Each structure stands twice: as structure tokens, then as C-alpha cells.
Structure 1
């Protein structure tokens, strides 16, 4: 993890200290002062952005007192976003996971390693005007790569797919997003479907549909608050022994996020996502997700 942190920090520092041609700031280039997190930016050709985000979450699967597994996960994501053209945004995500699993027999296991790399593209299909657009419609596409190792418990049995650090498969996704800007207000809505292929030992992760609706108000030029709902609908996953009884269903999180920009092109953000509606199938409970990070336009 120290290597990943050092690499990400070095990348950001390089953008600050290495001499580069004079360029306009991100706000000047896109014409809108709205503070944005990675993936919700205003487009302009040549935009290059890096971020580092830490997230903490809990998850449990299995019947309490019988076969329950409880997961605590700390996730560190390094991201690089680049717009080779004013209508295309490319995003690379490299995750590092530190996880602990508690078993019903009081056994405990710690794990650390790389998760599944993700490559995504955001292609802008419509904007109402070239500079400082108020309405943006974009197509979302991408793939998750099987870079995470397959994990088993102490007895050699595979962990449920919901507790694996990756799926072991190539998982393509496709979706649509809409963004509305009218400073100091903005709204973001998206829907993205993911269809995993066969993974570890003929297993297959759940097909899923992710939905997001969020609104943001910028209290000051340097401070914004964002609130919304993130929902996910899952199909049934296939384990080595057949369909998993503790997979599928749906869950929705209520979220709040603060964004702070002390200087131009630098944004700090912190978020909390709390499970508000849990209708996951079987014995499956997801806990709150807390995150904090920083993004910088090079």
C-alpha cells in the first residue's frame, strides 16, 4: 500500500513541480465554477486529472450463528482521468484493498492486495452549447479487469463472490448519464448496467444495475455540498456449488458529500453513504460507506 500511496503522491507532485506549458485553470477552460468529483467533470479537450480516495465499509453474508462471514474493508483508489478530445473522458482506477474477515467460529483472517482494475469512458452525446454548457448527456462504457487474486478461507473453501476482492472475470458495463449545471446548483443522474462474464472456477458474479441521483449546492466558491441516492439492483451470482442463496435483490444508500477547494484546481472531498433501504436476498447486510480524498487538475 505504501508503494501505491507514494506513486499517487508522486504523480500529483510531478504535476505541480515539473515545468509545463502555461494553461488555463479547469474553471476557465470549461466555463463553470462548480466543484466536481471524479467522473462528473465538465468536458474540455486535454483535461488531465488525478485523484486519491480512501473508503471504509463493512459487509456480512451468511446466516448468523451458522455460517456468517463479516467483512471489514479499507479501500484506496488511485485514479487518472484524461480527455483526449472535448467529447471523450477516459478514466483508469487502480484499487488497493486491506480486508479483515471474521468467521462464525471466531477465526479471523487479514488480507491485503490489489483489486480489479477498471477502465471507463464517458462519451458526451449532447451539450446545449460549446462553452459552459448547462445540459450534458453522455454514454458510459467500461470494463473491470480480473487483476485481483481468488481468495479462499483457511479450510480451502472459496469465499462467497460478494466477499471476494474481485470477480475474476472481464465485466463490461454500459450506461447513460445526465448532468445539469446552473451555478450554484447542479444535478447528476446516471444508470449503468454491468454483465460479468465467467470468472474464478466457472463462477459468475451478479449482474447489476447501478442508479445514481444527486443534487449539489455550492455554498461558496470554495465549498459545495452534495446529497443524493445511490441504488443497486443485483441478480443471482453463481458459486462453485450453484446459485448463491445470499445474492441478488436491491439496496439503496442515502449519501452526503462535502467538496472544498482551498486553491485553484485542487479539491478535497469527504462522503458518507448510509444504507436506507435494504432488500438484498438471503442473509446479506451491507453497512455504511465512508470516504475521503483529493483530486487535482494537472
Structure 2
């Protein structure tokens, strides 16, 4: 949806491609490796200058491999999420230096349940959808000073129970970033993204892996090849990992946004 306040009637089309992975458990003992390539396609519309509505649809390809080298692969449409952002305060009406907004949304269980060739359902980690309804809410601040802009967000996620009575743990995710834009065509951004989460559980029993805290250093480069088009490329590199029995890879991502 962007951090800036939109003009009324703006329609934004965007897509983001991400590659990431993690490994749960102990190497050569009970390790399970997950790798995912994910493309999100999103539409955001501003019916009012203070309100943005968005719909996001992911297409995911997942591979899960355990220590025995057994492997599962699944790909398909994931769970749609819908969200809204309302700007609730600004320091002045024209060209504000500070914006405060509240965000709310929900992920819906629209992803199909994938099955192997013999008809058995793939494992939960190979599925693109969770089968749960997951609400989220938070607050964001955006600041501007000359060629610099700043962003800080805090979002809370409260997943519900999904397939096979599995539930992801509640989490709080934060992001702070500073962006320097020396010209209309390009900018650089550096941020820190964090996630603190409760361990997932099945039938009320906590999972052996997961839960804890992780922080990523998040550099990005942004380029505008033409009016109303922005291309962004970056990486999220974990530099603090206090997740229990989980090691995470860097997250590579590239995105494209176009305003109509």
C-alpha cells in the first residue's frame, strides 16, 4: 500500500518475488529444510485520501526435505489477505512531514489443499495455505525531511487453528527504515525488521522448534524507470537469531509497483 498518503482514486498494481528458507531441528539428526519461491500479486485502491484498501494473492512453490532426504514439493495459489490502512493524524494539511496510520487486515483460508499423486495430502509445510483465518492489526509512522524519509511500523498477528489442528504462534513484527533519495529516479534504503513469536502448537502441544526472536538487516535499492513506476530490489539478512532450533536463510526479494 505504500507509506505515503495517497491521492483519492489512486489505483496501485504491484508484484513481489521472494526467495527464502529455513531449517528446523539439528543437522544430521532431525533436521527438516524448507525452501520457498513466492510471487505476490496485489491491488491497492484509495477511495479517500485517508484510506487505502488492498488485496494480495500469493503464488507459492515449496520444497520440504528431511534428514532422510525424503522430499515433498507443492505449488499453487496461497491464502488471500485483505487489508486496510487509515491515516489518522498528520502535522499539517499540505505536504505533511509526519503521518500516522493504523492498519488492519485478515488472511483468509483460500489456498487449496494439495495432494500427492497417490491422493494423500502433502505435509503442512509443503502446503501453500494454512487453512486458518489470521487477523492482524498495527500502527505506522512516516516522516519526511528533505531528501530523507523514515518509516516505523508495528504489526500484531493472531493466527487461528487451521488444518490438522495446527496453529502458528502469535507474533509481533516491527520495521524501521531510513531512505535517502538524491534524485527523482533512484533511492537507497536501510532498515531493520524484527519478529517476536510464540511457538506453534498442534492440539495444544507446543512444537519442538520455533518461537523466539529474529532480526534482519534490510538494505534496498529503488529505481523509477518512468513516471508512476517503481522497481525495488533488496535482501533481508538475519543478524540476530534467537528462534528455538530454527536457522533462517537471507530473504532475497524484488518488487514492481505501478500507479494508475
Q: Residue 216 of structure 1 is aligned with which of 162, 176, 179? A: 179
Measured after TM superposition, the shift of residue 167 of structure 1 is 2.7
Q: Residue 62 of structure 1 is aligned with which of 25, 39, 42? A: 25
2:99 aligns with 136
* RMSD, aligned CA: 2.1
Note if contact 2:177-2:189 (Cα within 8 Å) is conserved in structure 1. yes
2:189 aligns with 226
Measured after TM superposition, the shift of residue 183 of structure 1 is 2.9
Measured after TM superposition, the shift of residue 108 of structure 1 is 2.3
Map Cα deviations across residues 95-154 of structure 1 (whole Å, 9 max, x no partner): 000112222111222211111111111111101222322110000100011122456899
Q: Residue 73 of structure 1 is aligned with which of 13, 36, 45? A: 36
SS of 1:280's partner is coil
Question: Which structure has more helix as a fraction of its residues?
Answer: 1
Determine the C-alpha separation between the residues in 2 that align with 1:231 and 1:90.
25
SS of 2:167's partner is coil
Alignment of 1:36-51 (within 5 A): 38-51=1-14
2:66 aligns with 103
1:277 aligns with 240
Measured after TM superposition, the shift of residue 219 of structure 1 is 2.3
1:11 aligns with none
Note if contact 1:160-1:239 (Cα within 8 Å) is conserved in structure 2. no
Determine the C-alpha separation between the residues in 1 that align with 2:83 and 2:42.
11
Measured after TM superposition, the shift of residue 238 of structure 1 is 1.1
Determine the C-alpha separation between the residues in 2 that align with 1:241 and 1:149.
24
Kindly indicate whether residue 179 of structure 2 is the aligned counterpart of residue 255 of structure 1.
Answer: no
Determine the C-alpha separation between the residues in 1 that align with 2:213 and 2:61.
26
1:296 aligns with 258
Q: Residue 196 of structure 1 is aligned with which of 154, 159, 164? A: 159
Q: Residue 248 of structure 2 is aligned with which of 282, 286, 297? A: 286
2:55 aligns with 92
Seen in structure 2, the aligned counterparts of structure 1 residues 151 and 205 have a Cα distance that, compared at 3 Å, is: farther
1:167 aligns with 130
SS of 2:7's partner is coil
Note if contact 2:124-2:130 (Cα within 8 Å) is conserved in structure 1. no
Q: TM-score, normalised by structure 1?
A: 0.81
Map Cα deviations across residues 26-74 of structure 1 (whole Å, 9 max, x no partner): xxxxxxxxxxxx4323222111100111111011112222221111111
Note if contact 1:61-1:68 (Cα within 8 Å) is conserved in structure 2. yes
Determine the C-alpha separation between the residues in 2 that align with 1:86 and 1:97.
33
Determine the C-alpha separation between the residues in 1 that align with 2:203 and 2:94.
53
Q: TM-score, normalised by structure 2?
A: 0.93
Larger deviation: 239-248 or 217-226? 239-248
Question: Which structure has more strand as a fraction of its residues?
Answer: 2
- Unaligned stretches of 5+ residues in structure 2: none
Determine the C-alpha separation between the residues in 2 that align with 1:129 and 1:230.
29
Larger deviation: 58-67 or 262-271? 58-67
Determine the C-alpha separation between the residues in 1 that align with 2:232 and 2:42.
14
Determine the C-alpha separation between the residues in 1 that align with 2:70 and 2:167.
27
